[in-house]
Amino acid sequence: MTVPDHPQAASRSGRRHALAVLAGVAALPVAVLSVFRAVPLEWPLPIVQLLSFTPWLVIPAVLAALLGLICRRAWMVATTASLLAVQLFWLFPLDGGRYTPSAGLRLLELKAMNINSEFGGADPDEIVRLVKENGISLLSVQEHSQGLQDGLAAAGLAELLPNRISDPTDDAAGSAIYSSHPLQSLGMVPDSPFQMPTVRVTITSGDATAVLDVTNVHALPPVDIRIAQWRRDLAAVGRMAARPGNQLLIGDFNATYDHMEFRRLVDGGPDGQKLVDVGIASGGRFVPTWPVKGSKLPGIVLDHMVTTAQISSSAYAVHRVPGTDHAAILATLGIPAAT
């Protein structure tokens, strides 16, 4: 004679099964995209674009882990917990680059700011306000236009940052670097449709002098057939950063830390040292810089300051500027003085 299962036990088993199914549904996209994130290959365009949103996978990963824990199935708990651990590791990478102090060297302060102006549409008054209130001594601009240049001049930027190297255009190719310190042009990153100039900034404080090479980065976005040019742009910027001396790469990379191409750039600093992404070093993986207007997409970090390891950084911040879909990024850098 067969004794039927207790109704309450059957009900609990059914609920656990339903929770396990829900945990699997939440975990599936996390698992799939994690494979693409973990394997360092040049993935096709749809995967490259999806990888931009990797930080947001922590949300379904947490949900899957909680559901797995509630359903009390060991294999589900182990699987979802492992996926969550991987997401947390990528959010706070141990190998993201860290400041490496140079023994006995004095650091000279440089407050830097970057803005992609979206075809020159950024509000010049707000840009100048940020420069003034934050004591900015170096401003880099992408998609710089003559209209924006005139607006910045009218708003009084020249009084704060009198030195300028700029080439405004009517399309997205224009660029500008403004500074309170002397500037020297070192040329352009080659073979890119966007202007990516490198300038030498000489910082003097008392009897100390520091020299910093600044590359104003604007990589082509990874869309349609331009993904090949995007990869070439990032590789070319990486070669600039591999040169000796203090280096700052600042601008719109159109790439996130979750792109293998960007991590390869960070890995390629001079003397075999990793470069430092100031935003990552400051814990800014969840502080998006694009899109900050007119889009329902989750925000991602496309704008970066990347430095050689001997440059310190602090006070990283992100500010919205009316008229552009990119946020401004700001940070205080410490540049080693020349011996």
CATH superfamily name and code, 107-336: Endonuclease/exonuclease/phosphatase (3.60.10.10)
| Mean pLDDT score across all residues of the chain | 92
**Of 330 and 284, the one with more pLDDT:** 330
Residue found under tokens 């009218």? 154
User: Does the pLDDT value for residue 103 go beyond 90?
Assistant: no
Q: pLDDT tier at 20 (50, 70, 90 boundaries)?
A: confident
Residue 145 phi/psi, 5-degree rounding, is -120, 165
Indicate if the pLDDT at residue 1 is higher than 70: no
Arithmetic mean of pLDDT, 274-293: 92
Q: Which residues of 72-98 are buried (b: 16+ CB within 10 A; e: fewer)?
A: ebeebbebbeebbebbeebbeeeebbe
Q: What is the pLDDT of residue 149?
A: 98
The pLDDT of residue 75 is 85
Distances from the Cα of 115 to the Cα of 142, 199, 317, angstroms: 7, 17, 12
Least confident of 90-99, 107-116, 220-229: 90-99
pLDDT over 70 (residue 12)? no
For residues 284 and 259, give the distance between their C-alpha atoms in angstroms, rounded to a whole number. Answer: 16
231-269 per-position pLDDT tens digit: 999 999 999 989 999 999 999 999 999 999 999 999 988
Q: Work out the end-to-end distance of the chain between its first and last CA atoms, rounded to an integer number of angstroms.
A: 92
Q: Where are the domains of the chain?
A: 7-91, 107-336
In the prediction, which pLDDT does 19 show? 81
Q: pLDDT tens digits for 28-81?
A: 999 999 999 999 999 999 999 999 999 999 999 999 999 888 887 788 889 999
- 124-133 and 146-154 helices, crossing angle to 10°: 50
Give 121's pLDDT tier (boundaries 50, 70, 90). very high
User: φ and ψ at 326, to 5 degrees?
Assistant: -105, 145
pTM for this prediction: 0.93
Q: Is the pLDDT of residue 151 over 70?
A: yes
Label residue 271 by pLDDT band (50, 70, 90).
Answer: confident
CB 266 within 8 A of CB 225: no
Exposed/middle/buried for residue 173 (C-beta within 10 Å: 0-12, 13-18, 19+): middle
Local confidence band at 98 (pLDDT 50, 70, 90 cut-offs): confident
